[in-house]
Amino acid sequence: MCGIIFFKTADLVGIRDFYEGKLGLKLWQDQGTCQVYEFGNMRLGFCLADKAESSGTITFVYADPAEVDAAYTRFRDLATSRPEQSEFFQIYHFWARDPEGRSLEFQCFIDNVEPPREQAEIIVLNPDQTKPKLLLTRMIPESGIKKLKQVFEVHANIADLVMPRNEVLNRISEMDALLCLLADQIDREVIDQAKQLKVISNYAVGYNNIDTAYAAEKGIAVCNTPGVLTETTADLAWALIMATARRIPEAESYLRKGKFRGWEPLLLLGQDIHERTLGILGMGRIGTAVAKRATGFGMKIIYHSNRVKELDFEAEKVDLPTLLSESDILSIHIPLSEESRHLIGAGELAMMKSNAILINTARGAIVDEKALIKALQAKRIFAAGLDVYENEPQLPQELLALPNVVLLPHIGSASLATRSAMSELAAENAIAIVQGKQAPARVV
Ligand code: DGY
C-alpha cells in the first residue's frame, strides 16, 4: 500500500523535465495525462489540468544536513533561501520553487535536544597523598591546573559537563580546597559535608553561587577572579550594544536567507550609538571599563552606584529612576544579591525610553526575565542584548522567538587569554589560603 499526493499541472512535459530531469526523481507511473514520481517512500502525482495548482509545500526529507547541503549545491539556481536551522522547528532546510511556482522544501530533521549527559569522570590528575586535596569541578585552562598540581593532589572532573551535585556532596568531605564554577551551587548542604575544607575558589568574579556568609561562619575562605576579566567582559558588553543597536544578527540572517535585494532606504533601521546617553548600573570595574569605551563614541555617560566614583572621564551619578528614564542604552554591571534580584522589573522597564536598549552581561536574575519578555514583545523598549539568564542554561521559548533581542551563551569573559588568567588567579587563591598566606582575591 502507498499514498500519493496529487497536484494539478498545466505542463506535464515541463513537470517531467523538472522532477525527473532536474531533481532526479524516479518516474513511477505514467498514464498519459497523469504522472507519478517517487522520492524515497513519497509518491508525488501530477495530473493535467487547465491551470496549475501551486498552493502547499512539497518537502523532500534527507537523512542529514550534509545531504541538504549537497541538494543546495545541485539546486542552487532554484533556491529561494540558503540552508539553515529553522527558528521554530528542529529541522535544517532551504526553500526553492518549481517551474509552476510550487514551494519546495529540502530538509532533514535534527536532534537539537541535548544528548543525555554522560557521567562525570573524576580522576586524580597527580596522585600524591602527601599533598592537600583539591576538588576541581570541571577542567579549566592548563596554566592554572599546572600551578594547582604543584601544591595539591588534584581530583578533577575531566568530563565535559557540570559536576553532578551528588559527586560534589560525596567527595567534599575529604577535600582541603574546592575550585568550582558559577554553575556549582555551593550552599549550606555542601558546606556542611565539608569536614576539612579551607577554601572555595570560584572560577568567576561573581560568587552568587556560594553561600559566603555560611562559609565565613564555618571559617572557610571564599575567593573569586576579579580584575583579570574586566576588559574582556567590557568588550563583550560593547559587542552586544552594537549588535542590538544596529540589528546585526537580524541583518546577517536576512542576508543569508537570500532576502537582500539591494540597498533600500528603510531596510533594517536601527539606533545610533554615538552621542547618545549610556547609562551604567553599577560603576565598578566592568561598568567603568564599559563607560570608558563610550567616550570614544562621544556619548553622555550617567551612572547609578552606591558611591560617587573617581573617574578619569566625565560621568554623572544619578538616582535609579533618572538612570532608567534618561538612558538610551542601559548596561547592567552590579552583582546579583538578594537586594539586586529583579531590580529591573516591569515598573523599571516601563520607565525606560521606548527606543532604549537594555544590556545585561552581569547576572540574569537582576532582570525579571518574564517582565523583559513582555516589554520586548510589546516593543516597550527597542531591544535587549543578553549574555546571562535567570535559569541558565534554560531560556524561555518566548525569549528565543523574539527578533529584538540578541542572545549569547554567557561568554562575557570567554577569550583565550582571559580564561587562562582566571585559571591562574583561581589557582593562586586556593594555594595562598592552604599555605596560610593572603589570597590575591578573597571575598570572605
Ligand atoms: C563571572 O566571572 O562572574 C562571569 O560571569 C564569568 O566569567
Residue 93 belongs to a domain with what CATH number? 3.10.180.10
Residue 359 has pLDDT above 90, yes or no: yes
Torsion of CA 352, 367, 112, 240, to 10 degrees: 50
What does the pLDDT average to over 22-32?
92
* Lowest pLDDT segment from 101-105, 350-354, 365-369: 101-105
| Centre of ligand 1 from the C-alpha of residue 412, in Å | 7
Residues 95 and 167 in one domain: no
Looking at residue 111, its pLDDT comes to: 74
Identify the domain boundary among 53, 77, 109.
109
- 3-class secondary structure, 118: coil
Residue 137 has pLDDT above 70, yes or no: yes
Identify the domain boundary among 85, 109, 133.
109
Between 383 and 66, residue with greater pLDDT: 383
Looking at residue 120, its pLDDT comes to: 86
Residue 270 has pLDDT above 60, yes or no: yes
pLDDT band with cut points at 50, 70 and 90 for residue 73: confident
Looking at residue 372, its pLDDT comes to: 98
Domain assignment present for residue 334? The answer is yes
Domain assignment present for residue 153? The answer is yes
Residues 430 and 297 in one domain: no
Residues 206 and 282 in one domain: no
| Centre of ligand 1 from the C-alpha of residue 119, in Å | 25
Residues 83 and 164 in one domain: no
Looking at residue 95, its pLDDT comes to: 95
Residue 81 has pLDDT above 80, yes or no: yes
Contacts of 35 (CB under 8 A, 6+ apart): 12, 15, 16, 27, 29, 45, 46
What does the pLDDT average to over 16-43?
92
| Centre of ligand 1 from the C-alpha of residue 206, in Å | 6
Looking at residue 90, its pLDDT comes to: 86
Domain assignment present for residue 441? The answer is no
Looking at residue 64, its pLDDT comes to: 84
| Centre of ligand 1 from the C-alpha of residue 203, in Å | 8
Report the atom number in ligand 1 closest to the C-alpha of 363: 5
- Residue 76: give the domain boundaries: 5-109
**The 84-85 sheet, strands edge to edge:** 57-62, 103-109, 91-97, 84-85
- What's the total number of domains in the chain? 3
What percent of the chain stands above pLDDT 70? 98
Looking at residue 370, its pLDDT comes to: 97
Nine-digit cell at 373?
519578555
Domain assignment present for residue 413? The answer is no
Residues 293 and 390 in one domain: yes
What does the pLDDT average to over 20-28?
93
What percent of the chain stands above pLDDT 90? 87
Residues 189 and 287 in one domain: no
Between 65 and 343, residue with greater pLDDT: 343
Please state, in angstroms and rounded to a whole number, the distance separating the CA atoms of residues 133 and 152.
5
413 lines ligand 1 (CB under 6 A): yes
Domain assignment present for residue 39? The answer is yes
Shortest-distance Cα residue to atom 7 of ligand 1:
413
412 lines ligand 1 (CB under 6 A): yes
Residues 214 and 82 in one domain: no
Residues 300 and 201 in one domain: no
Please state, in angstroms and rounded to a whole number, the distance separating the CA atoms of residues 307 and 289.
17
Residue 262 has pLDDT above 80, yes or no: yes
Q: What is the CATH number of the domain that holds 172?
A: 3.40.50.720
Residues 151 and 208 in one domain: yes
Residue 169 has pLDDT above 70, yes or no: yes
Active site residues: 363, 392, 410
Torsion of CA 323, 329, 332, 333, to 10 degrees: -90
Domain assignment present for residue 206? The answer is yes
Residue 117 has pLDDT above 60, yes or no: no
Residue 112 has pLDDT above 70, yes or no: no
Distance set, CA 228 to CA 203, 413, 414, 431 (Å): 11, 9, 12, 18
Residues 251 and 387 in one domain: yes
pLDDT band with cut points at 50, 70 and 90 for residue 56: confident
Domain assignment present for residue 439? The answer is no
**The 42-48 sheet, strands edge to edge:** 5-9, 42-48, 34-39, 26-30
Domain assignment present for residue 443? The answer is no
Residue 125 has pLDDT above 90, yes or no: yes
229 lines ligand 1 (CB under 6 A): yes
Residues 252 and 399 in one domain: yes
pLDDT band with cut points at 50, 70 and 90 for residue 437: very high
Cα–Cα–Cα angle for 165, 169, 175, rounded to 5 degrees = 125
Residues 101 and 178 in one domain: no
Looking at residue 1, its pLDDT comes to: 74
205 lines ligand 1 (CB under 6 A): yes
Please indicate, yes or no, whether the overall pTM of this predicted structure exceeds 0.85: no
Shortest-distance Cα residue to atom 3 of ligand 1:
206
Report the atom number in ligand 1 closest to the C-alpha of 414: 7
Looking at residue 114, its pLDDT comes to: 52
